């Protein structure tokens, strides 16, 4: 069995889940995301992977349906990174940050069963360390010196 569930999108804009042999909606696809099911959406006409565009559609519906996650200012900042030299670095930075946030949520749920104040202290210390490392990596990629480091141009011969 394939480890990735295949969803086919037909020209009539309908989505067909090949695992359960039935048509599904974007809400069903959202359910797959929420349950962490691995899947791939392909265009039935040419087998192109269109997973990202389907996920973006789901995000757009979520953004217009209630309290938005992204402010207009935040979206404008993200758009400014497209096509720039830091686009790849920014994408990795965002993905790492979201992974970290999700991991922290899981740790928090486990830790709150223990001493909540001690758990919060440990979590905060760990967050500061990880956030600092992510910022240092981002600054290095952007060509800026990181605290405690000197640029090679600044080094003087002994």
Question: What are the tens digits of pLDDT across the range 33-89?
Answer: 999 999 999 999 999 999 999 999 999 999 998 888 889 999 999 899 898 888 888
Encode pLDDT of 89-145 as tens digits. 888 989 998 998 888 888 777 767 667 677 778 778 888 888 888 888 888 888 888
Task: Name the residue range of residue 120's domain.
Answer: 72-141
Q: CB neighbours (10 Å) of residue 137?
A: 15
pLDDT value of position 37? 95
Q: Whole-prediction pTM value?
A: 0.66
DSSP string, 11-76: TTS-EEETTTTEEE-HHHHHHHHHTT--EEEEETTT--B-HHHHHHHHHHHHHHHSS-SS-HHHHH
What does the alpha-carbon distance between residue 100 and residue 108 come to, in Å, rounded to a whole number? 12
Do 80 and 127 belong together in one domain? yes
- For the chain, the distance separating the N- and C-terminal CA atoms, rounded to the nearest angstrom, is 63
Cβ(142)–Cβ(88) under 8 Å?
A: no
59 and 76 assigned to the same domain: no
Same-domain pairing of 37 and 56:
yes
Tell me: do 60 and 80 sit in the same domain: no
Q: How many CB atoms lie within 10 A of CB 50?
A: 19
- Is 89 found in the same domain as 54? no
């Amino acid at each position: 069995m394939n480890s990735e569930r295949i969803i086919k999108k037909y020209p009539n804009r309908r989505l067909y889940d090949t695992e359960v042999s039935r048509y599904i909606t974007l809400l069903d696809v959202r359910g797959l995301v929420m349950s962490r099911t691995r899947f791939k959406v392909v265009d039935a006409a040419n087998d192109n992977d269109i997973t990202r565009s389907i996920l973006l559609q789901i995000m757009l519906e979520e953004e217009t349906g209630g309290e938005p996650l992204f402010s207009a200012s935040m979206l404008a900042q993200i758009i400014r990174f497209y096509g720039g030299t830091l686009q790849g670095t920014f994408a990795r930075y965002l993905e790492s940050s979201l992974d970290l946030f999700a991991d922290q949520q899981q740790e928090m749920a486990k830790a709150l069963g223990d001493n909540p104040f001690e758990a919060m202290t440990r979590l905060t210390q760990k967050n500061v360390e990880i956030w600092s490392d992510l910022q240092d990596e981002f600054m290095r990629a952007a060509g800026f010196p990181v605290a405690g480091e000197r640029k090679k141009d600044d080094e003087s011969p002994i």
